[in-house]
Amino acid sequence: MIKKIVFATDLGVLGPYVLCHALELSKQFGAKVDIIHVIEPMGIFAESILDIFLPPEDLDHLRKEGVYDVMKTIKERISDTMASEFAGDDDESFLGEINVVRGQPAEAILEYVDDHHIDMIVMGTHGEHGEVIGGLGSVASKVLQRSSVPVLMVPLARVNSQLGIANKDSLRRML
């Protein structure tokens, strides 16, 4: 039985389209939908640029506290968006936890699934900027191959090209 679904998002423009699929499933099964967004660690190139331009004390603060401030802000924005988008709507009762975590996306999603007893993952087939091989992005491919629970992959390539989506507002109007 499906009681908990996690919607894994890169916060890309097609995220609301994928979320609609997660909410439809939650209605069918009476399940809660958690939302997870994973922030990847800074790469070595970004680290070296920061080393050059930031004083050591600012860099230390950024490493220790800056990312947590960013995570908190992202979580608040997701929460505010969900509250305004679904205010007074039955869909709001299906929303579970909102989580913003650090790590490698596929690994963090799978760890979340195990730690929170998730029954199903809903995600897009690829992110906005990731590597796409055979129609699946690298994160989607890893999650699909290693998941212990069912994974619903929402195809995005055709939606993006057919609709010519420019921003979230145009997507919301279409839905």
**Beta strands 4-8 and 32-39, pairing class:** parallel
Contacts of 139 (CB under 8 A, 6+ apart): 10, 105, 106, 109, 123, 126, 127, 130
Burial class (CB in 10 A: 0-12, 13-18, 19+), 116: middle
Sign of the Cα torsion 120, 125, 126, 128 reads negative
The count of domains in the chain is 1
DSSP conformation letters of 24-65: HHHHHHT-EEEEEEEEPPPPHHHHHHHHHHS-HHHHHHIIII
pLDDT category at 51 given cuts 50, 70, 90 is confident
What are residue 122's DSSP bridge partners? 7, 152
d(CA 72, CA 100): 8
pTM of this prediction exceeds 0.75: yes
CATH of residue 117 = 3.40.50.620
pLDDT of residue 168: 44
- State percent of the chain over pLDDT 90: 45
- State percent of the chain over pLDDT 70: 81
Contacts of 137 (CB under 8 A, 6+ apart): 124, 125, 126, 127, 130, 131
**N residues, the chain:** 175
Q: What is the mean pLDDT of residues 44-72?
A: 82
Q: 108-157 pLDDT, tens per residue?
A: 999 999 999 999 999 998 765 555 556 688 899 999 999 999 999 998 76
pLDDT of residue 92: 60
Nearest to 106 by CA among 94, 121, 128: 121
pLDDT at 1 over 50: yes
pLDDT of residue 94: 85
Domain, as residue range, for 81: 4-174
**Beta strands 136-137 and 132-133, pairing class:** antiparallel
Helix (H) / strand (E) element for 99: namely strand 95-102
pLDDT of residue 133: 57
Return the structure tokens found at 41.
Answer: 């660690």
CA distances from 118 to 1, 18, 142, 144 (A): 11, 17, 17, 14
